[in-house]
Structure 1
Amino acid sequence: MTTLRHLAKVCKSKNAGPFEVTLDIMFGDRETYDRVLAAGVLDAALIARLYGVAESDVLFTPYAPALAFKATIPRRVSSGDIGDTDVYGAQQHAPLLDVDIPLG
């Protein structure tokens, strides 16, 4: 078992407009991407649990040509609105870093 932070080459988040955030997880090689995909841990249900949103509100896409997974979720507070603590959505990837991935 290892954490996503040790497997992913890139793990980032960013605005996808004022009402959504996109999470990108990219791998440096096909073997690692395939092993993470086969583990079945990264999916819409995980994203929903980590970010406190309904699973039906998560757009989750494995994208093999880029060795990546992408998820888009609704923001709790619109970008720039009162109460927004991350106007660019750039710090929202942190919960993903400690996700355990079994690579047995």
Structure 2
Amino acid sequence: MPKLSEVTRHVRSKAAGPFWVSVDVMFDGQENFDRYSASPALSAESIAAVYGVDAATVSLYPIPALKVLKVSYPRKSPQGGVEERDMHSGQQYTYLLDTEL
């Protein structure tokens, strides 16, 4: 089973406002997008388990024309709060890189 990092050209995360994080999974071709963007390993339930949030709050937005899967989920605490460890959410994507598809 390939890992996410092996079938993508780029994965990035960023703040999507003070209460949300967005992860962009950019597949390295149409074939990999078609094969893996709907993988159970990238389902709302799986993403929720990785980030410790409720699956009902995870949103998935496949964008076939760009070969991108956009994932949005709520932060555990607001941006800039006392518990904040990644203010711009730029490191959150790393938790998904070794995900087996």
TM-score between the two structures when normalised by the length of structure 1:
0.90
1:13 deviates by 0.5
Q: For 1:38 and 1:94, locate their aligned partners in 2 and report how far apart those are by CA, in whole Å.
A: 20
> Size of the alignment, in residue pairs?
101
- Structure 1 unpaired stretches of 5+: none
Amino acid at match of 1:2: P
Matched, 1:67 2:67: yes
Counterpart residue identity of residue 81, structure 1: G
Runs of at least 4 residues of structure 1 off by over 2 A? 37-41
Aligned to 2:97: 97
Secondary structure of the 1:97 match is coil
Give the secondary-structure state (helix, strand or coil) at the position aligned to 2:79.
Answer: coil
Q: Deviations over 1:43-89 (max 9, x none)?
A: 11111111111111101112111101111111112111112011101
| SS at structure 2 position matched to 1:49 | helix
Structure 2 counterpart of 1:55, which letter? A
RMSD: 1.3
Equivalent in the alignment of 1:51: 51
| Conserved 8 A contact 2:40-2:46 | no
